[in-house]
Every structure is written in structure tokens, then in C-alpha cells.
Chains A and B, each alone.
Chain A
Amino acid sequence: MSRTHSLPCADNIQRTVLPNQITVLTRENFHSQSISLVGIIPGGLMRDSAERPGLSNLCFSTMMRGTASQTINEIFEKLEGIGARLSINGSLHGAVVSAQMLAEDLPIVLQTMRDVLENPAFPEDQVAIVKNQILASLAMQAHETDEMAMKRFREKTFGTHPYARQHAGTPELVAAYTREELAVHHQQIIGPQGMILSIAGGISAQESLQKTAEFLGDWAAAPTFKPETMDYPLINPSVQAAYSHVEIAEKSQLDLVVGSSCSTVFAPDHYPIAVGNCILGQFGMMGRIGEKVRDEHGLAYYAGSQYTPLRFGGSWLVNAGVNPYNVKQAIALIQQEIYRFATSPVTEEELSDAKSFMTGQMPLLVETNQGIASMLATMEWYQYGLDYLVNYPQMIHAVTTEQIMEAAGKYLAPERQVITTAGTLESKA
């Protein structure tokens, strides 16, 4: 058996920029019979104006459902008939194309991908189906305690910044968008310029590149295309402490969030926050928070912390699902733990453990073709460089206890803590 399992790096990733400005990254993996592909087109859900949220989401969700030359049935007969998957979804800053297929079927997928990116027809009946799916999703979310606690947290933390918006739109707006609006919007936001395309799997880099150039190399944007300029403000760093509850009837469990905003993914304290977050609410069975809230007090099935760094600011929060009767006790415990974390240094052992965990996990993240393709796209998206995974341990090991305490004190101070809850409190707590 051969052992060709080095991490993806500059030595084994091929990076090429096509004439139409699509950056293609390929990584061979001949242990696999399949291929995964990830594409990012700059300009995602954030491109919607404040008055028209949900337009991009509806646009991306409908692009696969018929083109100028193919019906939805023809498109999906082709894909599903070979056991392939191709989807287009919206993230905050990009339209994300994702695909998986047997290695021999890459040409069919690329050809279909080109067609749905360039020529979506937005058929009236399919727009109606997708609208109903989005409306159903919004209706279900309104009864999900974790979703609603996070939604309210974003609103309170990010204020007027676009990160606070409901990017799926409101039911009224989604219902009102027309197919003509979608067609115009598509031509303005979807084009090859700046697109990143990563391909990993059982195919040679040369063949991947050749097929990509063949099917996407001559794709040109519509004349009305407006390239994404990423001209968004940074989030407002000053956050006022606040508490807000979302009442949802007949829920046995209540979800709670305690946290605040923090710096961007490019900020110097990105790695200190990442390592600190691991200690606070990730390491082992969800870090210090899990140990206190779940293990010591048995208050929650899940309790931990999340750090979400974005281009224009991020969030750092603790969340848990608890019985409504225990919500006050759980919040008090979480606040005590955050205070301890922000005012006294983590131990050398905790720091060493977190670093060891974060660097040790790396091979698991790039175990599958999907994992490799996603990592390659992320590395290019944030301009980390092809040796990011090789350099990553160095970044992690450079973090100090002082840096973590400084970041925690700065972002998780009581005077800027936003607390949100969602569930059934009336007549209970």
C-alpha cells in the first residue's frame, strides 16, 4: 500500500488563474474514486440592500431549476442519474457552489455547472416552489429556540450592520419578489471574475485543469455585471449590554446565548481568540463552560462557546440549552466563568492542551475530498497562502496566556455582554 498522505501544501496543490479570472486549485487524491468540488463567487447574501433582504438567497436557490436550454428535469436527470450532487447556496460574502461525483463524471458536472451559473431561466413554477420552501423554512425557524436565540443575538450585537439582517428575507418580501427581478439580480452578481474553484479527488491535476478550462474558460459575465467590491463597513465595536427574550410557546427546552462582537478574521487577535475559545468552550467536553454548566451542575445537555470570525467583524459567544426553570442559574454560572476567564490567565496546561488539540485535529479536517476542497477554497478566499496548513501550528503555538486574557477582557467584558434567550418562559421561570 502506498502512503501518500502529506497535508495539502504548495508542493502538492496546483494553482492556476484562467484568463477570465477564475482561480483554480487542484489536489490529487488517487485513494478515492470520487471528486469533490467547491466554488466561491464573491458577493453573497450581503449584496442585498437593507430594504430587500432575501433576494440573493432566492436567486441562488432557484438557479439550478432550469436554464435557457434545459428544464429542471433534464438538469437533475443528468446529475442524479450518475449519482452526482451539485448545489448553489448563499453565504454572507459569496455564492457557494458545491459538487460531488464519481471521478469519471467531472465533465458532466462542469458542463451543468457552467449552464446553471450562466443561463438560469428562473421558470415561474420553480420560483414559486422555492419561495414556498423558503417560507416554510422561515415558519419552522420561528419555532426553533436555538435559531431564534441566535437571530436575536445577531440583531442586538450587530445593530445596523448588515451582519444583523435576516438574510433569508421576510415572508412578505420573499413572496413579492418576481422572476424578472431574480433574472436582473443574477446578471448583476454572478460572473467569473474573482471566482475560486477547488477540486480534490481521484483525477490528475492536469486533467482537472484541462476540463475546467474547457468548460468554464470562455465564460464571460453579462454586460450588467457589477463585481463585488467588498465595500462594507466594519461592525461597530461598541456594544451595549442587553438582555432580550423571544417567547415561543410549548417548548420544553430554552436556548440561551451570552456573548458579544469581536474583531475580524484578519485582526492580530484572531489566533488568541481562537485558542482562547477552545479553552473556554470547546476543549474536551466543551471546555470550561461544559465542565461547569453540564458536568458540575447538570444543567444542560449542550453548553459551549463559539467564535465566528468574519471579514468585517465577528462574534464570540457562549450558548446552552437548559430547562426554563434553570435559566437564571445557568446565565449566572456562565457569567461567572466568563469573568474568571477574562480576569485571570489560563493555566499553562490549558494553553498547551488547546494548542495540541487544534494542531492535532488538522489531518482530520482534510481527510475527505470535500474537506480538502473546502480547505483549499478557504485558503484562497482569505489569501492565507498554499502553505497555510504547514504554517498553522506555528501561528497556534505563538499564542500566549496574556494575549488570550487581553482579548477576553476586551470582548467579553460584562458591560458589553448581550444575553438572549428563546423558549417558553411565561408562567414558568
Chain B
Amino acid sequence: MPKLITKHTLPNGLTVLLKEIHSAPIISQFVWYRVGSRNEIQGKTGISHWAEHMQFKGTPRYPAGVLDKAISRDGSSWNAFTFTDWTAFYETAPADKIDLPLMLEADRMINALYDPTEVEAERTVILSELEGNENDPTFKLSDAIAKAAFRHHPYRNEIIGTRDDLLSLTRDDLYHHYRSNYHPRNAVLTLAGDFETERMLEKITKQYETVPSGEQMIQTIPTESTQQKEQRIRLKGACDTTYLEISYHAPAGNEKDFFTMMILDSILTGPSSLNMFGSGGISNKTSRLYRALVEPQLTISISGNYEATIDPHLYTLFSIVQPEQPIEPIIDRIDLELERIRKGEISEEERKKAIKQSRALFAYGCENITNQAYWLGFTEMFADYTWFDRLIPSLENVTQDDLIEYANTRLSADQRVVGSFHPYQNSGGAA
């Protein structure tokens, strides 16, 4: 019987996490680099995301246009993500086709070309991606809120970067970013699926043992000063819908309060899931804010969103507002519900329900092998891999006093940014 999870560090510093799962003839591999928009400076925003794109543009061994075909030919899926704290690449492959993903990730950790012609072609592709984001009013609203909430910390920057920075970044900037951050000491390799651990570890060692370890970057991330008072943002644009986002400063992923926030979010807006790969969800028609806002038709919808991050980020309540409905009564109603929490009006049934919902989401997430490989590395980015297995017990340990304390300290008005996006009088929508 294999151990559930094996953690191993290669001599060059590469951290490897392996989890055997034999429910389907599939293996999923992720390579995580501890670099994202959190590590970017003004003038270079978007560089992590652009570097992620360049990793698909070839090495001497697998030139551009060869990699994607080689992977697809085997029936494998692959993609990559850039987040605030990390950049990750993954392949999910039929179990007997995993050798190619193992080879190519080791290869592009050290040998990516960053060909100047490819860099220029990708510049316009990324500008196109930015333009797609800009089509969405909520992108503009979230961006404005982040800039208000974080005066100093790089979480204020959009991961994709600003248009000006995307126009000015050079091939040398990108290559320097790559060589500084893509190396074993700054990486975590995670695999889950239908393999034998010892044999897989041998394969990994063979692929990575010659990759130089690299130097761990030491970087001082600006800390965020405590917000002193509530901030308000009001945007207008060509749309027919009003959007309301209220963002509170939130705990980092490895703080105890993070679990308290998860339970509170479940009570307020229904359970949220941190699963990235299609594992279902639960409706939220019995949550407190659904009943307070959607049932009386103040809003069309309500949801709660948060991220598990290295540094404190945001907990956001998002609503689509009923046409013609002013936002003040909505904010008042939310405040009323938060006041009830502060007064201790939380039943044991509500707390238990939140835990059962988390248990269910946990089980749904475990069905998907790609999701399991994802969790192994994702948790290492802001805590360690045991975070996932400790999740349910940690939620069970959240007490009513914790919830009251959280509402008092972290959900007060002076800790939030209230942002709204409103239509012009004449919206310009299509029939």
C-alpha cells in the first residue's frame, strides 16, 4: 500500500509531491513557480503572465508549434495560469503518455528560447487578451477596487498588466524574469494519478537532476498599511446593468482567520470553492444575504469571493443590482446582517451546515485527478500541502466566538472599499 502523499526534495532544490490515485488511467502534472504579479514592480506589470505565454513558444528541442502538437497527439490536455503569487503549468495525460510532459517541463524550465520575433507576436496577443478583459465592466470595477484597497502592495496590480507596460516591456526584460524565477529552487513539481511513486520519482530525478538549482530571489514586498476609513468608488459605462462590489481586507491563506472567513462566507452567501477544475458547486438560496437581498428583490444575485494568498488579500461581496435600485439600501441591509453576526446571532445549525457543505465540496473536488494535482501545489504556494488535509478539521474548529470576533475586526465599514458600476443614461446596448 503506497503512502498517500510523498514529498521529496531533489539535490538541486526541486520540491516534488506525489499522490497515487488509481481511479482512472490518467496522470496530472503541475510545475509551480513562486512568482506572480505580487513580485512585479511598477513599469513591469504583466511580466509574469507574458513570461508564462512565452513558455509555450519553444525550446531548441521542442521548437514553437512542436510542443503543442506533441502533447495533443497523445490525447493530453495542457495549459498554464498566472496568479498573484505563482505561475503554474499543467498537463493531464493518459497514464502511459506521461513521459513527454515530464520531459517537456524539465526542458522548458531551463531551455525556453524567448525568440524576439515570437515575443513581438505575443505582445499583440496579450493586448488582445487585455482588450477582451476590458469588455467586461466588472474587470474595470475590480481593478479600481484593488487600486483603492492596496496603496502599496502589488496586489493592487492586475495580473495581465497595464497597456503601457505591455507596450514597453522588452524581450530582455522577459528573459531576465525567466532566468531569475524559473529554476528548481523556486519550483514545486506535483503529480497525481495512476502511477507507482518509486518508479515515478526515478523518472523525475532522471529528468531534473541536471537542471542547475538557481538562486532563490530575495525580494521585499511592500507591506500594506491598515486602512483607516471606508472608501467609495463609482464608475459609469456603456451597459444596462448596475454592479456592486464590496471588498473587505481579508486574512492570508495560512492564517487561522482564513478558516473563520470560509465559514462566515458560507453563512452569508453560500459556500465558495477553491477548486479550480470542474468539480461542481452548491447553490446559495438559503444564505443570509440571498434572503436579505435577492428575495426582497433588491439585487438579482449575491456571491462571496476570496483567494488563498501569501499576503492578506480581499473578501468580496458581489451583486448584480435590480434596475433602478439605489445601492445604499443594499449596503444598509448587508450592514444589518453583519451586525447580527457581531451580536452573536449565529445558530449551531448554521455552523454545522457550513461544515457539511465544505465536506461535500471537498469530496466533489477529489473526483478530479487534475484538481488533486492542483491542490498539492496550490497549497504549497501559500502554506504547505497538509493545508488541504487539515481543511475540514480546521473548519470544524471554528467557534461562534471566532465568527463574532472576525465580524467585529475584519468586516467593519472602515475595512472596506465599496465600488459600483452604473450605466450611462443611453447605454449603447444591442437589441
Q: A364-B77, A368-B279 are in contact. Are A301 and B366 (CB under 8 A)?
A: no
Residue-wise, chain B 262-282 has the 8 Å CB interface mask toward A (1 for contact) of 000000001100000011111
Residues from chain A with a CB closer than 8 A to the CB of B278 are 368, 370
A-B contact pairs, 6 of them (CB 8 A): A80-B285, A85-B281, A143-B239, A249-B429, A252-B134, A368-B278
Residue-wise, chain B 319-340 has the 8 Å CB interface mask toward A (1 for contact) of 0101100000000000000000
Interface residues of B in 257-304 (CB under 8 A from A): 270-271, 278-286, 291, 294-295, 297, 300-301
With both chains docked as a complex, state the minimum distance between the C-beta of A42 and any C-beta of chain B, in angstroms.
Answer: 25
Of the listed stretches B9-17, B64-72, B248-256, chain A binds B64-72
Q: Indicate if the CB atoms of A3 and B194 lie closer than 8 Å.
A: yes
Assembly CA distance A102 to B297 (angstroms):
32
With both chains docked as a complex, state the minimum distance between the C-beta of B81 and any C-beta of chain A, in angstroms.
Answer: 15
Q: Indicate if the CB atoms of B430 and A246 lie closer than 8 Å.
A: yes
Flag whether A334 is at the interface (Cβ < 8 A). Answer: no
Q: Indicate if the CB atoms of A298 and B122 lie closer than 8 Å.
A: yes
Q: A33-B363, A252-B134, A298-B125 are in contact. Are A361 and B77 (CB under 8 A)?
A: yes
| Most A Cβ at <10 Å: residue of B120, B122, B241, B363 | B363
With both chains docked as a complex, state the minimum distance between the C-beta of A30 and any C-beta of chain B, in angstroms.
Answer: 9
Flag whether A395 is at the interface (Cβ < 8 A). Answer: no
Residues from chain A with a CB closer than 8 A to the CB of B64 are 295
Residue-wise, chain A 378-414 has the 8 Å CB interface mask toward B (1 for contact) of 0000000000000000000000000000000000000
Residues from chain B with a CB closer than 8 A to the CB of A36 are 280
Flag whether A148 is at the interface (Cβ < 8 A). Answer: yes
Q: Indicate if the CB atoms of A87 and B237 lie closer than 8 Å.
A: no
Q: Indicate if the CB atoms of A5 and B430 lie closer than 8 Å.
A: no
The residue of chain A having its C-beta at the shortest distance from the C-beta of B353 within the complex is A81
Q: Indicate if the CB atoms of A363 and B26 lie closer than 8 Å.
A: yes
Assembly CA distance A29 to B364 (angstroms):
13
Assembly CA distance A101 to B24 (angstroms):
21
Flag whether B43 is at the interface (Cβ < 8 A). Answer: no
Assembly CA distance A299 to B127 (angstroms):
9
Residues from chain B with a CB closer than 8 A to the CB of A72 are 285
Interface residues of B in 381-431 (CB under 8 A from A): 427-431
With both chains docked as a complex, state the minimum distance between the C-beta of B66 and any C-beta of chain A, in angstroms.
Answer: 9
Assembly CA distance A283 to B70 (angstroms):
10
| Most A Cβ at <10 Å: residue of B1, B126, B285 | B285
A-B contact sample (4 more), CB < 8 A, given A81-B286, A82-B356, A248-B238 = A129-B295, A140-B241, A253-B132, A367-B26
User: Which residues of B does A touch, CB under 8 Å?
Assistant: 1-2, 20-26, 56, 64-65, 68-69, 71-77, 92, 94, 97, 120-132, 134-135, 137, 194, 237-241, 270-271, 278-286, 291, 294-295, 297, 300-301, 320, 322-323, 353, 356-361, 363-364, 366-370, 427-431
Q: Indicate if the CB atoms of B320 and A87 lie closer than 8 Å.
A: no
Flag whether A356 is at the interface (Cβ < 8 A). Answer: yes
Give the contacting residue for B357; candidates A80, A145, A300; CB below 8 A. A80
Give the contacting residue for A102; candidates B129, B363, B428; CB below 8 A. B363
Assembly CA distance A87 to B284 (angstroms):
12
Assembly CA distance A83 to B239 (angstroms):
35
Interface residues of A in 92-134 (CB under 8 A from B): 100-102, 125, 128-129, 132-133
Give the contacting residue for A299; candidates B92, B128, B431; CB below 8 A. B128
Residues from chain A with a CB closer than 8 A to the CB of B131 are 252-253, 321, 323
Q: Indicate if the CB atoms of A249 and B240 lie closer than 8 Å.
A: no
Ranked 7 nearest A-B pairs via Cβ: A360-B75, A83-B360, A249-B428, A31-B23, A252-B131, A284-B68, A298-B124
With both chains docked as a complex, state the minimum distance between the C-beta of A79 and any C-beta of chain B, in angstroms.
Answer: 7
Q: Indicate if the CB atoms of B128 and A253 lie closer than 8 Å.
A: yes
Give the contacting residue for B22; candidates A3, A129, A253; CB below 8 A. A3
Q: Indicate if the CB atoms of B128 and A300 lie closer than 8 Å.
A: yes
Interface residues of A in 250-265 (CB under 8 A from B): 250-253
Classify the secondary structure of A's interface with B: mixed
The residue of chain B having its C-beta at the shortest distance from the C-beta of A370 within the complex is B280
Flag whether A46 is at the interface (Cβ < 8 A). Answer: no
Assembly CA distance A100 to B128 (angstroms):
37
Residues from chain B with a CB closer than 8 A to the CB of A367 are 23-24, 26, 367-370
Residues from chain A with a CB closer than 8 A to the CB of B353 are 80-81
Residues from chain A with a CB closer than 8 A to the CB of B285 are 72-73, 76, 80
Q: A76-B285, A85-B282, A249-B427 are in contact. Are A357 and B72 (CB under 8 A)?
A: yes
Q: Indicate if the CB atoms of A143 and B132 lie closer than 8 Å.
A: no
Interface size class of A (residues with CB under 8 A): 35 or more
Interface residues of A in 195-254 (CB under 8 A from B): 246-253
Q: Indicate if the CB atoms of B125 and A368 lie closer than 8 Å.
A: no
Q: Indicate if the CB atoms of B72 and A80 lie closer than 8 Å.
A: no
Residue-wise, chain A 352-379 has the 8 Å CB interface mask toward B (1 for contact) of 0100111111111011111000000000
Assembly CA distance A91 to B359 (angstroms):
31
With both chains docked as a complex, state the minimum distance between the C-beta of A249 and any C-beta of chain B, in angstroms.
Answer: 3
Assembly CA distance A81 to B105 (angstroms):
43
Residues from chain B with a CB closer than 8 A to the CB of A360 are 73-76, 94, 97
Assembly CA distance A360 to B73 (angstroms):
8
Residues from chain A with a CB closer than 8 A to the CB of B130 are 252
Residues from chain B with a CB closer than 8 A to the CB of A83 are 271, 282, 356-361
Q: A83-B361, A299-B128 are in contact. Are A248 and B430 (CB under 8 A)?
A: yes
With both chains docked as a complex, state the minimum distance between the C-beta of B199 and any C-beta of chain A, in angstroms.
Answer: 14
Give the contacting residue for B132; candidates A295, A301, A353; CB below 8 A. A301
Assembly CA distance A361 to B282 (angstroms):
28
With both chains docked as a complex, state the minimum distance between the C-beta of A60 and any C-beta of chain B, in angstroms.
Answer: 15
The residue of chain A having its C-beta at the shortest distance from the C-beta of B127 within the complex is A323
Q: A5-B25, A85-B283 are in contact. Are A129 and B297 (CB under 8 A)?
A: yes
Residues from chain A with a CB closer than 8 A to the CB of B120 are 298
Assembly CA distance A76 to B24 (angstroms):
33
Residues from chain B with a CB closer than 8 A to the CB of A132 are 297, 300, 322
Q: Indicate if the CB atoms of A364 and B92 lie closer than 8 Å.
A: yes
| Most B Cβ at <10 Å: residue of A1, A2, A102 | A1
Assembly CA distance A292 to B73 (angstroms):
19
Residues from chain A with a CB closer than 8 A to the CB of B284 are 80
With both chains docked as a complex, state the minimum distance between the C-beta of B127 and any C-beta of chain A, in angstroms.
Answer: 7
With both chains docked as a complex, state the minimum distance between the C-beta of B120 and any C-beta of chain A, in angstroms.
Answer: 7
Residues from chain A with a CB closer than 8 A to the CB of B2 are 1
With both chains docked as a complex, state the minimum distance between the C-beta of B244 and any C-beta of chain A, in angstroms.
Answer: 13
Q: A80-B286, A294-B125, A299-B128 are in contact. Are A252 and B300 (CB under 8 A)?
A: no
Flag whether A322 is at the interface (Cβ < 8 A). Answer: yes
Interface residues of A in 2-44 (CB under 8 A from B): 2-5, 29, 31-34, 36
Q: Indicate if the CB atoms of B128 and A139 lie closer than 8 Å.
A: no
Flag whether A68 is at the interface (Cβ < 8 A). Answer: no
Q: Indicate if the CB atoms of A356 and B74 lie closer than 8 Å.
A: yes
Assembly CA distance A84 to B281 (angstroms):
8
Flag whether A180 is at the interface (Cβ < 8 A). Answer: no
With both chains docked as a complex, state the minimum distance between the C-beta of B163 and any C-beta of chain A, in angstroms.
Answer: 10
